[in-house]
Amino acid sequence: MSVRGLTVRFAGLTALDAVDLTVLPGTVHALIGPNGAGKSTTFNVLTGVYRATGGSVRHGDRELTGLPPHRIAEQGIARTFQNLALPAGTTVADTLLLGRHRLTRAGFLASGLRLPSATQEERRHRERVREIAAFVGLERQLDTPTGALPYGQRKLTELARALCLEPGLLLLDEPVAGMTSEERRRTASVIAGIRDSLGISILLVEHDMGVVMRIADTVTVLDFGRLIADGAPHDVQNDPAVLRAYLGE
Ligand code: ADP
Ligand code: MG
């Protein structure tokens, strides 16, 4: 994904000011910065929720600038939200099956009519849902309503649901926020595994620097909507402009 000169203004406030960002295939790219830096705004523009005031977003050779959210999702870009958005009474298995809806609109209709081809497709989807649940470590929770899961497993369910879209690029907004340290460790390895085993590129907004330093290949730092540093995690961590932004000088 290639973002050039991305600018977003809200009545008088410049939330993003000419930001450039390139997410290379098969990498974890972290987007960090103090509160209000523009991280969630970046996600909202990349997923079509907000419209950019200026600049362009491309994915491969596709121009995404100005497309609505469902058209961007069709380009293989999936996201999770900073705050959980799961139906509490639905089991993990059904949540993930619904997550495959984009791939199967026709399939679900046909399965309602009990066509043989549809039940076969339905079986394939259930099989894939089991694989994805196992990948994130939720194979034993498939029949549990998401509302009955501990917080960390609900966050993993949301991650698994995004994987059900078989995305090429995954946008994760604070995936380990609110987790215990054990859950953070596990989720960090799941995210690294999504890159290493599934070959999916990841753009990651995360406040936990331990997680960022451990799994990011590249880090971009925003402050007041401006890009202030960009590079390998350890170079960025020692960048004087980054230290100043975090110390609030
Ligand atoms: P971050 O996620 O890095 O904490 P945000 O992207 O949420 O920061 O916010 C960046 C700036 O844009 C903040 O000053 C925030 O108040 C402002 N902002 C975000 N969304 C809106 C909106 N929908 N309307 C007006 N201002 C907004
Ligand atoms: Mg945010």
Percent of the chain with pLDDT over 70: 92
- pLDDT class of 80 with cuts at 50, 70, 90: confident
Alpha carbon 222 to chain centroid, angstroms: 18
- Is the residue at 215 inside a domain? no
Judge contact between 45 and 57, C-beta under 8 A.
yes
State which amino acid sits at residue 191: I
State which amino acid sits at residue 96: L
CA atoms within 13 A on the CB side of 99: 30
Averaged pLDDT, 137-163: 95
Answer yes or no: is the C-beta of 36 below 6 A from any ligand 1 atom: yes
Question: Which ligand neighbours the alpha carbon of 6 most closely?
Answer: 1
- pLDDT class of 214 with cuts at 50, 70, 90: very high
Q: According to the model, what pLDDT value does residue 194 have?
A: 97
Whether the per-residue pLDDT at 111 is higher than 60: the answer is no
- Give the separation between CA 182 and CA 184, rounded to whole angstroms: 5
Kindly give, in sequence order, each residue whose CB lies less than 8 Å from that of residue 156, ignoring residues fewer than 6 positions away. 136, 137, 138, 187, 190
Judge contact between 228 and 243, C-beta under 8 A.
no
Averaged pLDDT, 81-103: 83
Averaged pLDDT, 34-38: 94
- pLDDT class of 108 with cuts at 50, 70, 90: low
- Is the residue at 10 inside a domain? yes
Q: What angle do CA 19, 25, 30 make, to 5 degrees?
A: 50
Q: According to the model, what pLDDT value does residue 112 have?
A: 61
Whether the per-residue pLDDT at 50 is higher than 90: the answer is yes
- Is the residue at 168 inside a domain? no
Tally the domains of the chain.
1
Residue to substitute in 19, 41, 227 for testing ligand 1 pocket (most ligand atoms within 8 angstroms of CB): 41
The ipTM (two decimal places) reads 0.98
- Is the residue at 52 inside a domain? yes
Whether the per-residue pLDDT at 248 is higher than 80: the answer is no
- Is the residue at 14 inside a domain? yes
Average pLDDT, the chain: 91
Q: How many CB atoms lie within 10 A of CB 172?
A: 27
Residue 83's alpha-carbon distances to 26, 34, 71, 231, in angstroms, are: 26, 18, 23, 28
Q: According to the model, what pLDDT value does residue 119 have?
A: 80
Q: Rounded to two decimals, what is the model's pTM?
A: 0.91
- Give the separation between CA 95 and CA 157, rounded to whole angstroms: 8
- Give the separation between CA 126 and CA 134, rounded to whole angstroms: 12
Answer yes or no: is the C-beta of 38 below 6 A from any ligand 1 atom: yes
- Is the residue at 122 inside a domain? no
Model confidence over 151-209: pLDDT tens digits?
999 999 999 999 999 999 999 999 999 899 999 999 999 999 999 999 999 999 999 99
- Is the residue at 11 inside a domain? yes
Answer yes or no: is the C-beta of 151 below 6 A from any ligand 1 atom: no
Q: What is the CA radius of gyration of the chain?
A: 19
Atom of ligand 1 nearest to the CA of 44: 6
Look up the domain containing 16 and give its range. 1-20+48-58
- Is the residue at 9 inside a domain? yes
Whether the per-residue pLDDT at 110 is higher than 60: the answer is no
